[in-house]
Homo-oligomer: A and B are copies of this chain.
Amino acid sequence: MAYTIGLDYGTNSVRCLIVDTATGDELATAIHEYETGQAGIILDSSDHNLARQNPADYLKGVEATVREALAKAKDANADFDPSQIIGIGVDTTGSTPLPVDKQGTPLYLLDEFKDNPNAAAWLWKDHTGHAEAAEITALAENEHPEYLAKCGGTYSSEWFFSKILHCLRADPGVFDAAYTWVEHSDWLPAVLTGTDHPGNLKRCRCAAGHKAMFNDNWGGYPDAEFLARLDPKLGKLRATLSDETFAVDTVAGNLTQAWADKLGLSAGIPVAMGAFDAHLGAVGSGISQGVLVKIIGTSTCDMVVAPDSSDLPDIPGICGIVDGSILPGFFGLEAGQSAVGDIFNWFVNYIQPGGPQAGSHEALTQKAAELKPGQSGLLALDWNNGNRTILVDQRLTGLLIGQTLHTTPAEIYRALVEATAFGALTIINRFEEYGVRIDAVVNCGGISEKNAMLMQIYADVTGREMKIARSAQACALGSAVAGAVVAGKAAGGHDSFADAQAAMCGARDITYKPIAANQKIYAELYKLYKQLHDAFGLADYAPAPANVMKDLLNIKDNVNS
C-alpha cells in the first residue's frame, strides 16, 4: 500500500488529506483553522481592502493537520503506517506573496516586524494595491501589451506586483527590509524541504505565469527596465526573481529530517512544487483535454487545458494562459465568473425574499425547480460583482428585466441561476471560438453537489453533460496526485499525471445531461442574454435591445401555451 499527502491551504484553514495512490480512497483528513486575526485573516477596520495572513499559521497548520490525519488514518486502517506515505503535494491560495529576508525568513516572523501587517503574507483578496494595478496596466498597455495579453488584458490589484509596489509606496521600511517576495505556494514546499533560502528556492509556474506576467517568450518575469519605470526599487527587485519556474511534476525538494520528525513522516520523501488551489483542484477533478473543470463557490474558477504543442492564440478576456500551470505538457487556461453563489447569497441574505424561512436557498430552489425554462419572462445579467470573463470589467453591475406585478421570488431566484449558466456558456463559447474544444464539464464545490436544479440548468443552457467531481476535497486530492507523481511509480506512485488521475480521480455516478426541449428554449433565451451582455458590456455595440422585453414575453407565452 502507498499513500500520498495533499496539503490544501485555503483562505481560512488548511486541510491535510491522506490518499491511497492506487484507488484514490481518502483514508483520513484533518483541518486546522488559522489562529491570527479574524477567521485567520488580519484585517484593518479603517481599510476594507486590507487582508493579510500570518506565515506562522501556515507552519502550525501543517504540523497540526498532518499529525491528526496520521492518527485518524491509523484508526481507520490498523495496517496503515506513516512510512507508507511516499510523497506530498501542496496547494495554496494566490496570489498571496510574502516578503522574506536574505535567509528566506518571512519578515513577519522577525521581532522587528511582528506587529506590522505589511510584513505578513498579502492574501489573495487584499486589494490595497488597486491604484498600483491600474498603473501597471497602463504602463504595460503602452510598452508591453504582450504582458497583458496572457492575463486577460488587465493587471489585477490581487496580483503579485500590485501588492509589492503598494508596499514599496505605503511602507518603504518593509519593502527595503525584504530581500525578495515569494508566493505562499513557493514558500511552503521550500520550507518543508529546506530549500527556502532565496538562492535555492524554486518558484512555481502557475503563480508566476498567472499573476506575475512570467512567460518564457520574453525571458520570464517582466524585464527590469519595465519594473524600474514603475519604481527604480522595483526594477532592482527583478534580479531576485529567478528566470526559471517549475510545474507541479517537479520535485521542490525532499522532506527534511527536522520536518519529518515534526510531522511523523519519513525524511527524504519528495515534495512537489506548489500550485494554486484551483489548479490542483482541476487536477483532482480529473481535468484533461476537452474537459472544463468548474469550481463553483461564491465565484467560479473555470479551467481548461490545451496541448502546449498547439499554436494557441491569445484569447481575449481569458484571465491567463500559462504553459504547465495546471497539467505539465499542457497550456493551463483560466477563466471565471466574478459571482455565482454570491449572487444567490445576496438575494437570500440581503434581500431575504419572503423572510428567512420562505426565502432559504432550499425553499426557493424547490419552487424554482417547478418552473419551466422561459416561463417567468425574466432574464438577468450575472454581473452583481462585475464580469471577470470575458469582459474583464469589475465595474459592471447586475440587471434584471421582465418583472411584472406577479413576479415571484422563486422566479427571480431561477433567473439568477440561469444568468450564471448563461455566463458559463459565454466562457465556453469564447474558448471554442479560439479553437479550444469543450466537450464536457466537471463541476466541484458545494453548490454543484447540493443543487440538482442548478446543474440541470447548466446542462440545458450549455448543451453539455455536467459531471460532478467524486471527491469533495478536489484541491487536496489534486495535491495528493502531484505528490504521487513526484514519488513515481517505482515508489508506489505514478509516472504521469494521466496515470495518477486515472487511478486516483473520478466523477460521481450522478450526472446531468441536456434535455432537448429545455435546450431549445434556452437557446432562444441565450440570444437575448447575449444581446444584453453586448449592449451593456461593450462600449462599441450599436443596436439598442428594444426587442428583449417582447421576445421574453413571446417565449413565456409559448411556454405557457
Contacts and interface: CB of A to CB of B under 8 A. Distances in A.
Interface of A: 339, 342-343, 345-346, 350-356, 358-359, 377, 383-385, 395-409, 412, 534-550, 552-553
Contacts of A544: 534-536, 538, 541-545
Given A398-B400, A539-B547, 19 more contacts: A346-B405, A346-B407, A350-B408, A351-B351, A351-B353, A352-B354, A352-B409, A354-B355, A384-B405, A385-B404, A385-B405, A397-B403, A398-B401, A398-B402, A398-B404, A399-B399, A399-B400, A536-B545, A538-B546
Given A397-B404, A409-B352, A541 B546 contact: yes
B552 A546 contact: no
User: Which 5 residue pairs across A and B have the least CB separation, nearest first?
Assistant: A355-B355, A398-B403, A535-B544, A399-B401, A397-B402
Nearest to A352: B354
A340 to B, nearest CB: 11
Contacts of A541: 544, 546
Nearest to A531: B544
Contacts of A346: 403, 405-407
A536 B546 contact: yes
A227 B552 CA distance: 35
Interface centre among A536, A539, A548 (most CB of B within 10 A): A536
B400 A400 contact: yes
B542 A343 contact: no
Contacts of A547: 539
Contact of A405 (B343, B355, B408, B546): B343
Contact of A549 (B345, B397, B401, B548): B397
A540 B546 CA distance: 8
A384 B400 contact: no
A353 B359 CA distance: 9
A401 B406 contact: no
Contacts of A356: 355
Given A351-B409, A352-B353, A546-B535, A400 B397 contact: no
A461 to B, nearest CB: 21
Contacts of A412: 351
A18 B397 CA distance: 55
Interface centre among A350, A535, A550 (most CB of B within 10 A): A350
Contacts of A538: 544, 546
A473 to B, nearest CB: 27
Contact of A352 (B355, B404, B407, B535): B355
A397 B408 contact: no
B549 A395 contact: yes
A403 B398 CA distance: 4
